[in-house]
């Protein structure tokens, strides 16, 4: 069996990304398929560095600024997206010895009938930015088989008229995350700074508990960042390479502080995860999965999250607290020491290992090919 993956035009497929849950999954999945000698390569922007073969599309990845940010126009990116799609279709149909095509780019959905090989598409996004079944007739009976990344996401898509064939939870390599013997008095949130991610609630939890707050991630909405986040930032660590030690070496204060690290790569984020008292996830949307929650739990750091989307599928009594309001999020901080870091990590590894995800996908490929 040979599997060709088609990634997005937004970010490169690389072992070291500052952002990009989808692209991280593509890289990890390709790496494991390559080890099993069943990867046919990855179709991705030219700046990609997968473990297998890269079939290049556009000269460099577009970036993520236009995905969630409605403050600016990014119409020029549409041509790059079309260029990426055109080249992806060319590779999918001209490469020999292919058994199945695994698509991760939502925009490819409309072109499914043009791919001659069996194909699947993993839905990495929430329904609001996908194809509307009321408008697009082709969504009624697509050739591509659809895969959800959570049962919550499956339920939402099926309520809109889609047929979801499979559910495969994301998985990550537990070897990339480790426990810390010591927890420092800060609350962590890592993700795109955007109204739907509600980082202002993380700041409010910090105010009410007196704990420092560390916000990490790219700015997805300039307007939101300027109005809701920036006025409360006490220390900007964007220019610092070692984010954790820069935080620890900052002058002590009797008051809670908000630190902004800017985007973080894998090396920078791991110690932030493992040394945090808790990971705060105050979602304002029905999150399809939430890879950062799994990364935190694998680092032995409990998650406190609003009861939205996939949260009940990810967070258990051994790994954190599911709450409905900000007040409950504050209350959960008082019980944070009841979560054993070792048990937290163990539970996350059992449910969300990279090995499990790869095995699930291989089962999907085999069934679709049959």
With beta carbons less than 8 A apart as the criterion, state whether 114 and 85 touch.
no
Tell me the per-residue pLDDT of 135-169, one tens digit each, with 9 for 90 and over.
888 887 788 999 999 999 999 999 999 999 999 99
For range 76-103, the mean pLDDT: 93
Angle between helices 326-333 and 199-209 (to 10 degrees): 50
What are the tens digits of pLDDT across the range 308-324? 999 999 999 999 999 99
DSSP 3-state of 122: strand
Q: For residue range 229-256, what is the model confidence (pLDDT) as tens digits? A: 999 999 999 999 999 999 999 998 889 9
For 263-277, how does the pLDDT look when each residue is reduced to its tens digit (9 = 90+)?
A: 999 899 999 999 999
Nearest Cα residue to 7 out of 17, 20, 18: 20
* Entry pTM: 0.92
pLDDT at 128: 81
Identify whether the C-beta of residue 47 lies closer than 8 Å to the C-beta of residue 20. no
Summarised one tens digit per residue, pLDDT across range 311-364 is: 999 999 999 999 999 999 999 999 999 999 999 999 999 999 999 999 999 999
Residue 36 has pLDDT above 70, yes or no: yes
Contact 150, 310 (CB under 8 A): yes
From 190, 151, 192, 188, select the one nearest 286 (Cα to Cα): 151
Across the beta sheet with 145-148, what order do the strands follow? 54-56, 39-44, 3-6, 100-103, 119-123, 145-148, 164-167
Share of the chain above pLDDT 90, in %: 83
CA 82 to chain centroid: 24
Q: What is the pLDDT of residue 65?
A: 59
Tokens of residue 92, six digits: 């999918």
Integer CA distances (angstroms), 363 to 170, 189, 269, 356, 368, in order: 15, 34, 32, 11, 9
pLDDT at res. 71: 44
Nearest to 15 by CA among 2, 1, 34: 34
Report pLDDT for 63: 81
> Between 75 and 204, where is the model more confident?
204
User: Averaged over 84-102, what is the pLDDT?
Assistant: 95
What was the pLDDT predicted at 121?
A: 97
| Residue 75 structure tokens | 């119409």
Q: Is the pLDDT of residue 68 over 60?
A: no
Average pLDDT, the chain: 93
């Amino acid at each position: 069996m040979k599997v060709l993956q088609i990634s997005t035009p937004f970010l490169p497929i690389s072992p070291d990304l500052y952002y990009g849950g989808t692209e991280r999954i593509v890289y990890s999945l390709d790496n494991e398929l390559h080890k099993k000698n069943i990867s046919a390569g990855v179709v991705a922007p030219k700046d990609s560095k997968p473990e297998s073969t890269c079939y290049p599309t556009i000269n460099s990845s577009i970036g993520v600024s236009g995905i969630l940010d409605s403050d600016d126009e990014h119409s020029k990116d549409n041509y790059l997206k079309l260029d990426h799609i055109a080249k992806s279709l060319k590779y999918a149909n001209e490469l020999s010895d292919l058994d199945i095509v695994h698509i991760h780019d939502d925009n490819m959905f409309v072109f499914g009938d043009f791919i001659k090989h069996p194909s699947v598409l993993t839905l990495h996004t929430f329904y609001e930015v996908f194809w509307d079944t009321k408008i697009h007739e082709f969504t009624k009976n697509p050739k591509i088989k659809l895969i959800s990344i959570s049962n919550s996401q499956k339920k939402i898509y099926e309520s809109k008229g889609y047929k979801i064939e499979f559910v495969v939870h994301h998985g990550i390599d537990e070897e990339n995350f480790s426990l810390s013997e010591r927890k420092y008095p800060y609350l962590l949130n890592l993700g795109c700074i955007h109204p739907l991610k509600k980082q202002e609630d993380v700041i409010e939890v910090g105010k009410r508990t007196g704990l420092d707050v560390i916000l990490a991630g790219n700015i997805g909405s300039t307007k939101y960042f300027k109005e809701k986040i920036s006025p409360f930032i006490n220390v900007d660590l964007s220019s610092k390479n070692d984010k954790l030690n820069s935080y620890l070496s900052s002058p002590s204060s009797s008051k809670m502080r908000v630190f902004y690290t800017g985007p973080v790569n894998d090396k920078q984020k791991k110690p932030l995860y493992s040394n945090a008292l808790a990971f705060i996830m105050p979602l304002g949307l029905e999150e399809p999965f939430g890879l950062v929650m799994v990364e935190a739990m694998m680092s032995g750091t409990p998650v406190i999250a609003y009861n939205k989307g996939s949260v009940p599928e990810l967070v258990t009594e051994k790994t954190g607290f599911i709450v409905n309001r900000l007040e409950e999020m504050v209350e959960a901080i008082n019980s944070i020491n009841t979560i054993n870091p070792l048990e937290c990590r163990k539970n996350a590894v059992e449910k969300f290992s990279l090995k499990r995800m790869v095995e699930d996908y291989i089962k999907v490929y085999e069934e679709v090919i049959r």
